[in-house]
């Protein structure tokens, strides 16, 4: 099972968190986000990080050409798309060598046919709480909605997950459930993670 810590921003916070060895670390390249990362610091920071931690770059409604240019030389493995990106744009990114995570905003009236369009092009889906800010709301959606998901692409559960949710996570069952994406409930402020709290979460998650 994958544990992904998203919304990392500051080098002196990234490095000690990386020492706790999450499976993935996510970095926000959406300028309107409070967690928007300054890419000039990342290359040097990544050189000091465990190479086994997969780096995920998060974008919203940007063309593939721009994304590839932004990430040049930064050694990202995954791109996570949080907007209305087309399959054509995803294909272009895959030709550049990136693996793709597509996020979907969950609500009671979500159209599950939307996932089918992307299924063969994505390594993972992320099911997150619907919010105008494209994530990071700290709010949870009704996990029972995922009973309606019948495709084969594995997914990460996201949206306001806290350490108090561990018991629910341990009993949550779905054939494609592959891990969790944590963010705002582990922050001191946007982009600054509470390392001790993340450490506790990783320990509990991997029991």
* pLDDT tens, position by position, 25-47: 999 999 999 999 998 889 899 99
Instruction: Find the helix packing angle between 11-18 and 195-205, rounded to 10°.
Output: 30
Residue-wise pLDDT for 190-201, tens only, equals 999 999 999 999
> Which phi and psi (to 5°) does residue 131 adopt?
-155, 145
Using CA of residue 155, residue 93, residue 50, residue 33, what is the dihedral sign?
negative
Count other Cβ atoms within 10 Å, centred on residue 124.
23
Round to whole Å and give the CA distance between 128 and 35. 17
pLDDT at residue 137 is higher than 80 = no
Residue 135 has pLDDT above 80, yes or no: no
Q: What is the CATH number of domain 2-205?
A: 3.20.20.70
Angle formed at CA 11 by CA 125 and CA 17, multiple of 5 degrees: 60
Query: What proportion of the chain, given as a percentage, has pLDDT over 70?
Result: 97
Q: Which two tokens stand for residue 108?
A: 């009671």
67 by Cβ neighbours in 10 Å (0-12 / 13-18 / 19+) ranks as buried
Written as six digits, the tokens of 101 are: 């995570």
**66 alpha carbon, distance to own chain's centre:** 20
Backbone angles phi, psi at 115, to 5 degrees: -70, -30
CA pair distance 177, 146, nearest whole angstrom: 10
Q: Where are the domains of the chain?
A: 2-205
């Amino acid at each position: 099972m994958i544990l992904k810590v998203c919304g990392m921003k500051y080098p002196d916070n990234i490095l000690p968190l990386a020492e706790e060895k999450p499976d993935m670390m996510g970095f926000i390249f959406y300028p309107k986000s409070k967690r928007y990362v300054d890419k000039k610091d990342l290359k040097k920071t990544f050189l000091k990080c465990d190479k086994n931690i997969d780096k995920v770059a998060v974008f919203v409604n940007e063309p593939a050409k721009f994304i590839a240019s932004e990430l040049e030389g930064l050694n990202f493995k995954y791109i996570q798309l949080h907007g209305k990106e087309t399959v054509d744009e995803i294909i272009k990114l895959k030709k550049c060598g990136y693996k793709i995570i597509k996020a979907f905003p969950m609500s009671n009236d979500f159209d599950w046919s939307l996932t089918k369009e992307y299924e063969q092009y994505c390594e993972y889906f992320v099911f997150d709480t619907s919010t105008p800010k494209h994530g990071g709301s700290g709010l949870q959606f009704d996990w029972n909605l995922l009973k309606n998901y019948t495709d084969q692409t594995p997914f990460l559960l996201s949206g306001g997950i806290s350490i108090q949710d561990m018991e629910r996570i341990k009993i949550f069952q779905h054939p494609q459930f592959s891990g969790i994406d944590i963010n705002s409930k582990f922050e001191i402020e946007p982009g600054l993670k509470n390392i001790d709290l993340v450490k506790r979460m990783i320990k509990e998650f991997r029991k």
